[in-house]
Amino acid sequence: MDLNDELRSAAWRKAIKSGPNGGDCLEVAPLSGGRVGLRDTEAPEKAPFVVSASVWDAFIDGAKKGEFDF
């Protein structure tokens, strides 16, 4: 399966805190090879951003440590 087909059939999910109306958030989807797809809930028709497993893991680790807090 090529990446475009995989992205179309991916199991996209968003944070529970985004609420029932969709909210302003990102959606994520697990992809083959440990990659992760990211897309904007308000523009799901736009091409998603795809990152490797190591990039995703580093981002999650940083988020948990508060590195991106304002």
What confidence score (pLDDT) does residue 1 get? 77
- Strands (DSSP E) found in the chain: 13-14, 26-30, 36-40, 49-51
Task: Write out pLDDT tens, residues 7-62.
Answer: 989 999 987 777 666 667 889 999 999 999 999 888 888 989 999 999 999 999 99
pLDDT attached to residue 32 = 95
Q: Which two tokens stand for residue 10?
A: 């991916």
Domain with 45 in it: 3-11+25-64
Assess if residue 70 is contained within a domain: no
What's the domain count of the chain?
1
List of residues 6+ apart from 28 with CB closer than 8 A: 12, 13, 14, 36, 37, 38
* Sign of the CA dihedral with 17 first, then 22, 23, and 27 last: positive
Residue 31 included in any domain: yes
In a domain, 69, yes or no: no
The 10 Å Cβ neighbour count of residue 29 is 18
Would you state the pLDDT for residue 41? 85
